[in-house]
Structure 1
């Protein structure tokens, strides 16, 4: 067998550096050679920077995505006797929507294969939240996942290492070389895993604003359009909602407290913004799966979604009725004057929760499940001097000063508050 490689990686780097296009065979070879270890990390890093600076055409991004899918296994849900629909969020502060959403959609006979991740930095990870529940386990085999989808209809679990392994290596490089923000690389990273997962329909929750990965609305819209095009080109029914992440979502930021809030939503209560986004995404997922008239409000109100939630948690060895962890220490911050809470910036609250122990700085770091922040008011609410605005929770009171430092200037009390726009700002389809 010949050991001669089809291309020279330095030529590919120069092509992108000089704003040229890579051909389909070049991209296929590049991802295969990178997966094999022939293309060195420093070479792939140089190429990632060239892509960040000069972009890629739609065809190149599609080829990159398909090559990353081809680097690993593809799952299939063809054996299920029901359609599949999934959701992916680009992440934010207080974003626990997956938890009530998956069981809600499953009520209507649509299977939800929610392969989720862990948090890094200020954005929380769905698996970290669920691991607050005693006994619950994230790791399932493909057979266990299929059995649970067939029986319960919803599963939230860790993605197997076999899906798009090239993406895992490239993601680690992007994190350490300042190229995380490259839209072609973000889009191909997310969509390679989602397409390889084998879902029939996909709804993207692409966030913009202070606490979002893409703070700028126009950049978030470009990312959403790119990902919808990739899904459509791969034969997956795909739409995106552009949603506001300038203010934390709901009243809980952390892990155990976000599970509590999700259960409140499943019980027919919960904060209005969390309910609104859960219902909007459920309608979108069900419409793509052929059920545009499903009564999602009714399924929350009458307990059907809660029933599926409990079965889903038990199927993964969790106890849905067990008490959740409670922090050893709390610190309450109160209003300095009478007025209206005018601003509440998502990013500083996410950083503060991270500093309390709710998040991790490195992938291997543990999270403190009881750590986080509970908000007692949202922008537009009238407050009185001395009234609690939010409570910090941690297992070590020594964490409070740095968390409070992150929150300096993150919220304001004025005589009036500016009106807030809708959470869902736009819907994008192919």
Structure 2
């Protein structure tokens, strides 16, 4: 197991950080998050030119042929900069769905190169009224008439659903759950932008009313959904770690510069210890992330537990760090002009994006029990089982 980035991965980090520092400073973030599109198309094309939108896509399908550790590095930098971007929706969710559909080579060959190049921005529509995804496809139905498939139902919330060029929909069919590709401007598709807590991340409700869709071949659509959710949990954890790191940096810088009673507030024990706690939480989060991303690349059977572990720890840790950032900045930390509230809102929305931490804890506990305790001896209230 490798928990330290190598020289090439550090170079990737430095390159992406420089691009985001130059092209997505705080002033640009605030400008873009209030724009109609919700992200900067020029920055999106630049990320495509750098090859980071297709890091996990094989080279023969237009990608870089790298791995999830490299993608996590990019997600860390995007989270650090709070860059409004459809990266999570397109370069993670939509890309991973297509990679999971290994029985549909035509669809992969047609769509993955365009996603990797940034020519298309994709997303996945799987949730129906919450963060959890129904393996059976939910209440959205897909029916076929005269050889054409039609979708009916509502998916919400859909990440970047108001601007995506391609929507991959998980729906219920007469033969079980399935995946379908829908164009963003398809007939019968109504996209309604939603107002969320985090202004840097866009969501939408997608209503399908006799919407034509292309079926995607996959032996087990539900299993593909679970794999995509686990990989998304790892990528989201990376974004959260990046946000944690930047919140820590800004707080320490302020504690050094803010003078009170003739001395920097960082010299006071309460502030000093609080910053130390933030640093400790971030260091542990980095270790959990490195383990999860390594697992995604090298130990797929262990991915469910690693993904649940990442969201069990890192989601709440990011929120606690962001809350501490607001606290230690004092009055200015509560103002619209300071960036603290943006990290705070990103932290809370991210913590719940793929389901609450309680769901991940329950899943992790179930996986641990299944792996390490014989099924014929599950502990009960009997004292002999303790």
Relative to the length of structure 1, the TM-score reads 0.26
**Greater length-normalized contact order (CA 8 Å, ≥ 6 residues apart):** 1
Q: Going by fraction, where is helix more abundant, 1 or 2?
A: 2
